Amino acid sequence: MRMLWWQNIPLFLIVAPLMGAVVCSALKEKAARGVMTALSALTVCGMALVLAFTAARQESCVYPMGEVGAPFGNELRFGAVEGIAGLGFSLVILLSVLGGWRSLTRDVPENKRHLYAAMVCLLTAAMSAMVFTNDLFTAYVFIEITTIASCALISATDHGRTLFGAARYMLMNLLGSGLFLLGVSTLYCLTGHLLFPQLQESVKDLLDRDKYLTPLYLSFVLMTLGIAIKSALYPFHTWLPNAYASTTPTSSALLSSLISKMYIFLLIKIFFRAAGAQVFDRDIRNFLLGFAVAGMVLGSVDAIVERHLSRMVAYSSVAQIGYIFLGISLGTEAGMAAALFHMLVHAAAKCMLFLSAGKLREVSGMGDGFRDVRGAGFRAPLAGAAFAAGACSLVGVPLLGGFPSKIYLAQAGIALGGWRMGVVLAALAVSTALHVMYMLRTAVLLYAGDGDARRPEKSPLRKDPCFTAAMLALLGLNVLLGIGSRPIMEAILQGIALFS
């Protein structure tokens, strides 16, 4: 079968950023920044093209990496779901790099910024590869790249606290990678395959013959556990606040909106493409549901107790990751679609929250305790508005992304019926109430007082057109997800039909 021209795009979306990263590492700061921004913009365009073509043709394609395809060589696979996820992820990269670079020039020393740009390029490549790959081991290789890159992104800010956070992050994430690798090798030992379609066949065969069930289940448990640790599902989230809150805003935005979501997307692929419905049965799902609900509630409780802006936003990530796992754990197509949609919503909102929190900190004398940022909304109007909008979106105020996504999650729960419906609805209600308590409280706090109390003498708020543009784009994105949720959801559902 001859490839159509656009089917080559994913290959270039992986190879071009890899080469860009190498080039960036040899350039000076300005040129490296240009290369990085151009590549992220190109990735956005490429992802949009992939999405447009796959959605229009309503099919998913397989792209062999070399002359020999599956099951002997590597393979890429892409359809509407991959297109949507990739588009969302690449937008996050572009906007957080645009919006946060000014703060980054303050946090990262000049002789290291070109390396930071290289890291962002590598992250872009790893994102494309993880979204498109149809091969378990390739996914692991790019997990490695992502892990190292994210450690570098955190520790680029040269403070003691950041390094502490980065070290903790690294230890926990390496543990996650190790567990994942153990799972992959156990599975390979049982099936002799690494590509998803063949894996699914062999797993089905093993289940039918009733052989090696313990190691088989264990391998999936290990992979799930590894990814749960790396994406900060509730009891494994202790590395998160220090890592997210102590570094430069771009890094926080990338870590929370991109990196943890990439891992979850991979987990969805593993569940639905490699394991198949039989392995991912009721018990595992109920187990995951328990963790998800715990995260939704207890993550919010942690956030309520917190007294620092960026640490609070970081803890709210734990709750939001709980939402996504809730959707996955329902095990239905509607649940998975809701999880994917919530992934996009959370990425858009969290990126905006972290970037604006960085700006609010800047106008409050570099402190982001609640007492420093009182009235900061008056000192930095756009950042304040963006923070308020992001907070409202996560709470679930209509017209913003969080509202439809909560409705979809609830609908998926209701369709399931039984006690799980009750659990889903109760968890959503409690978590939303808790979100109101800390998110809206903080949004109000930003507009308390007259705002002049802590205005720094020399205003650091120079004109920053990139930040303005990124914030406006993110605001637009959140509203788009809020009012245009139906076509997006339809595209996701269509893609899911072709997914497994």
Partner 1 sequence: MKKKADPFRALKSWIENGDDALDLEIQEEMDDEATPALTEEAGRKREKKKRDPVRARRRLEGGYAVAAVLVCLALIGALVYAALQLPAFGGADTLVDSEVSAFYVENTLKETGAVNIVTGIILDYRGFDTLGESHVLFIAVCTVLLLLSIRGDKNADRIAREEAFDRHFEPRDDEVLQGAARILTPLVLVFGLYIIANGHLSPGGGFSGGAILGAGLILYQNAFGYRKTERFFTYRTFKWVSLASLLFYSLAKGYHFFTGANHLENGISPGTAGNILSGGLLLPLNFVVGCVVACTMYALYTMFRKGDF
List contacts with partner 1 (CB under 8 A): 2-3, 8, 11-12, 15, 18-19, 21-23, 25-26, 63-68, 71-74, 109-112, 115-116, 118-119, 122, 125, 129, 135, 137-138, 141-142, 144-145, 148-149, 151-152, 155-156, 182, 186, 189-190, 192-193, 212, 214-215, 218, 307, 369-371, 374, 441, 444-445, 448-449
Residues 476 and 307: their CA atoms lie apart, in Å, by 29
Closest CA to 457 of 364, 368, 329: 364
Q: How far is the CB of 32 from partner 1 (least distance, A)?
A: 12
Q: How far is the CB of 438 from partner 1 (least distance, A)?
A: 11
Q: Residue for token digits 């870590």?
A: 255
Give me the count of residues in the chain.
500
Instruction: Give residues with Cβ within 8 angstroms of 366, minimum separation 6.
Output: none
Give min distance, CB of 19 to partner 1, in A. 5
Minimum CB distance to partner 1, residue 427 (Å): 25
Q: CA dihedral defined by 3, 7, 13, 18, rounded to 10 degrees? A: -20
Q: In whole angstroms, how close is the CB of 493 to partner 1 at the nearest point?
A: 29
Closer residue to partner 1 (CB): 11 or 493: 11
Q: Which residues on adjacent β-strands are paired with residue 75?
A: 64
- Give the residue from 95, 73, 51 showing the smallest Cα distance to 349: 95
Cα separation, 150 vs 243, whole angstroms? 10
Give least dist CB 449 to partner 1, A. Answer: 7
Closer by beta carbon to partner 1, 362 or else 372:
372
Q: By C-beta, is 207 or 410 nearer to partner 1?
A: 207
Q: How far apart are CA 431 and CA 402, in angstroms?
A: 13
Nearer to partner 1, 62 or 416 (CB): 62
Nearer to partner 1, 122 or 279 (CB): 122
User: Are the C-beta atoms of 394 and 346 separated by less than 8 Å?
Assistant: yes
Least distance CB 116 / partner 1 (angstroms): 7
Pick between residue 142 and residue 323 the one whose CB is nearest to partner 1: 142
* CB-based contact 74:155 (threshold 8 Å): no
CA distance linking residue 336 with residue 269, whole number of Å: 11
Residue 372 or 464: the one with the smaller Cβ distance to partner 1 is 372
